């Protein structure tokens, strides 16, 4: 077996593959769950997947408006709420921004790595982390619900770039 060298995609990856995979997975998951991935919701998901950088709600809104879509803040927030509900998008609390989930099939409580140099965010799905949090909390009698784990730092690519300078 091979561990991923990085949670971040290669700088030269074919991002269209990411987008296609995400949309296909979304279609499948919504159908399976009986949820309606309308064209608006689908379009918002696609826009979130424009890159691996988390995107703000108002940036999405501007794009929608520039495409002639009737849109106001609730338009975007409702679509995002739906996508989060379905596990297709995550919200990054530190950034007030949203990022596509690369593995919507698996239900998970994810952790996020946020590169402060390139702005990208990657999802870490490390059971050991969730487990450590759960143990620490429960040892103090705390019953764990939702976990928010966001780590700022430098991705492997940016460490290399900065060193070369």
Chain residues in the site for DNA (CB under 7 A): 35-36, 38-41, 56-59, 69-75, 77-79, 82, 96-97
Could you give phi then psi for residue 115, rounded to 5 degrees?
Answer: -85, 120
Find which of a second copy, DNA, none residue 164 binds, CB within 5 to 8 Å per kind. none
Residue placing its CB nearer to DNA in the complex, 14 or 93 = 93
Find which of a second copy, DNA, none residue 10 binds, CB within 5 to 8 Å per kind. none
117, 153, 83, 13: CA torsion to nearest 10:
60
Other CB atoms within 10 A of residue 83 CB: 26
Beta bridge mates, 100: 89
- CA–CA separation, 44 and 120 (whole Å): 19
Contact residues for a second copy, defined by CB under 8 A: 3-8, 93-94, 111, 113, 115-116, 122, 124, 126, 128-129, 131-133, 135-137, 139-156, 159
């Amino acid at each position: 077996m091979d561990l991923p060298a990085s949670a971040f995609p290669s700088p030269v990856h074919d991002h269209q593959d990411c987008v296609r995979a995400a949309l296909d997975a979304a279609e499948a998951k919504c159908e399976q769950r009986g949820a309606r991935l309308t064209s608006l919701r689908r379009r918002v998901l696609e826009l979130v997947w424009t890159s691996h950088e988390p995107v703000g709600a108002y940036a999405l809104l501007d794009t929608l408006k520039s495409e002639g879509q009737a849109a106001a803040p609730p338009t975007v927030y409702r679509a995002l709420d739906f996508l989060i509900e379905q596990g297709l998008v995550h919200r990054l609390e530190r950034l007030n921004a949203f990022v596509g989930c690369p593995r919507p099939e698996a239900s998970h409580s994810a952790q996020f790595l946020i590169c402060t140099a390139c702005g990208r965010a990657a999802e870490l799905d490390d059971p050991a982390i969730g487990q450590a949090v759960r143990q620490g909390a429960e040892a103090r009698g705390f019953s764990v619900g939702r976990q928010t784990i966001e780590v700022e730092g430098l991705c492997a690519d940016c460490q290399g770039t900065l060193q070369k300078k």
